Amino acid sequence: MISTPDRRQAVALIDEAIASGARKHKACEIPEITLRTYQRWTQAGDVLSDRRPEAQRPEPLNKLRPEEREEILKVANSPAYRSLPPSQIVPALADEGRYLASESSFYRVLRAAGQQHHRGRSEAPQRKVPSTHCAAGPNQLWCWDITWLPGPARGLFYYLYLILDLYSRKIVAWDIHEMETSDLAAQLVHKACLAERIVAQPLVLHSDNGSPMKGATMLETSHRLGVTSSFSRPRVSNDNAYAESLFRTCKYRPDYPVNGFHTIDAARAWVLSFTHWYNTQHKHSGLKFTTPVQRHTGEADTILAHRKRLYQEARKRHPNRWSGDIRNWALPARVWLNPEKEEPDLNKAA
On the question of pLDDT at 60 being above 90, the answer is no
The b/e string for 220-244 (b: 16+ C-beta within 10 A; e otherwise) is: ebbeebebebbbbbeeeeebbebbe
* SS3 assignment, position 206: strand
Q: What is the C-alpha to C-alpha distance for residues 172 and 191, in angstroms, rounded to an integer?
A: 9
Q: Closest Cα partner for 160 from 267, 23, 241?
A: 267
* SS3 assignment, position 325: coil
Q: pLDDT for 6-38, tens place per residue?
A: 888 888 888 888 888 889 888 888 888 888 888
| 4: CB partners within 8 A, 6+ apart | 47, 49, 50
On the question of pLDDT at 347 being above 50, the answer is no
Q: Residue 137: what pLDDT?
A: 94
On the question of pLDDT at 54 being above 90, the answer is no
The arithmetic mean of pLDDT across residues 201-219, rounded, is 90
Q: Are 294 and 306 in contact (CB under 8 A)?
A: no
Q: pLDDT for 94-143, tens place per residue?
A: 999 999 999 999 999 999 988 877 766 666 666 666 668 899 999 999 99
- Domain spans of the chain, in order of start: 4-41, 66-112, 133-282
Q: What is the C-alpha to C-alpha distance for residues 108 and 63, in angstroms, rounded to an integer?
A: 12
Q: Which helix (H) or strand (E) holds 207?
A: strand 203-207
CATH superfamily of 133-282: Ribonuclease H-like superfamily/Ribonuclease H (3.30.420.10)
